[in-house]
Structure 1
Amino acid sequence: MFKRFYPSEYVDSTYEIDFRGLYQKGYRGLLFDIDNTLVEHGADASEQAIHFFRELKEIGYEVCLLSNNKIERVERFNNKIKVKYIHNARKPSKKNYLKAMQLMKTDVNNTVFIGDQLFTDVFGANRVGLRTYLVKPIDPKEEIQIVLKRYLERVVLHYYKKSLKKKKVR
């Protein structure tokens, strides 16, 4: 029942993912949510994020930000990063995941999505068939509608972790 919301991987932070290893496995495109995935909600690009995106470009990745935020927010974050982006993405709708891959000239077989929310980020990417990384939110302070979703996410994550334990036993 909950499997459609399960990420391919669940990690503590975007910044701990082995992007060089993913590149060696043939991945060429990266889609990122912004808030609580790369920086705190509403924050500009940090020095860590700026360096991180520079490194991703050096590795050879095409990168696109996929955000449900308004254009002003996304452009402000992207000001020093300078990657492709789609604002008002309406995640979990499939449309803009597909559009982002067109912009990057990648496809579902060589693109990864990284985000902090199960019901928008991961669910939408799963609907398209992408490899997904769910990251723990950077900042626990969130808008009320997200706080409410987090309660439901805990239920799904409980079953997700249980399913991982079953796989290990086999």
Structure 2
Amino acid sequence: MRIENYLPDFAVEAVYDLTVESLRKHGIEAVFVDLDNTLIAWNNPDGTPEMKQWLHDLRDAGIRVVVVSNNTQKRVQRAVEKFQIDYVYWAFKPFTLGINRALKQFGVDKSQVVMVGDQLMTDIRAAHRAGIRSILVKPLVSHDSLKTMPNRLRERRVLKKIREKYGPINYTKGI
């Protein structure tokens, strides 16, 4: 296992810390974002006022937001339809199927997109495989759904190796 495959390009506290200005500075015109524990808490599908403002700010600036999730269509659609967000379901991260589908479906150039997620094992690894930049965020809630727990166990081992080789991942308030 190459530890570099799990190393994010950036690490920020929360997806909402990504400002229009900072995204533009890095040439980003589209944000692919994981759903659970990244955009919304897995156990709170209504989102927060902060999340709604972030989506509004990006939309007003012409920066496209696309949810790229491993969840079912029903789950993703129910979570995002009230926010009018485009989405790709059954993304099969850490593989590139969902990211590639989103790139093609929404006509986004790889150099102008970033994948944002809370998991090294799925979101960051998929971004590396797809050849796009990645941003790791802290999970919105500290406890995971049962289906995420095995990934978190593996992730702890990977984080230990990253710390040993590169030092701790430092989360900032922006990129």
Shift of 1:124: 0.7
How far is 1:144 from its partner?
Answer: 3.1
Unmatched segments (≥5 aa) in structure 1: none
The answer for the alignment partner of 1:17 in structure 2 is 18
Match of 1:99 in 2: 101
CA apart distance, 1:7: 0.9
Conservation of the 8 A alpha-carbon contact between 1:45 and 1:81? no
Q: Distance in 2 between matches of 1:40 and 1:2?
A: 28
Quote the residue 1:29 is aligned against: 30
- Going from structure 1 to structure 2, the CA distance change for 1:26 and 1:104 (only over 3 Å counts) comes to same
- Secondary structure of 1:10's counterpart equals strand
Instruction: Give the TM-score normalised by structure 2.
Output: 0.85
**Segment of structure 1 superposing worse, 112-121 or 20-29:** 20-29
Deviation string, structure 1 residues 75-132 (Cα, Å, up to 9, x no partner):
1111221121111111122122011012222121110000011111111111011110
- The amino acid across from 1:160 in the alignment is I
Alpha-carbon RMSD: 1.9
CA gap of 1:11–1:158, structure 2 versus 1, over 3 A, is: farther
Q: Where does residue 150 of structure 2 map in the other structure?
A: 148
Consecutive unaligned residues of structure 2, counting only runs of 5 or more, are 169-175
Cα deviation code 1:147-168 (max 9, x no counterpart): 23213212222333444449xx
The AA in structure 2 aligned to 1:93 is: F
Letter in 1 for 2:36: D
Q: With structure 1 as the length reference, what TM-score do the two structures score?
A: 0.88
1:143 positional shift: 2.5
Residue in structure 2 matching 1:160, options 142, 159, 162: 162
Aligned to 2:69: 67
Aligned to 2:126: 124
The residue correspondences of 1:45-60 to structure 2 (distance < 5 A) are 45-46=46-47, 47-60=49-62
User: Greater CA deviation, 27-36 or 103-112?
Assistant: 103-112
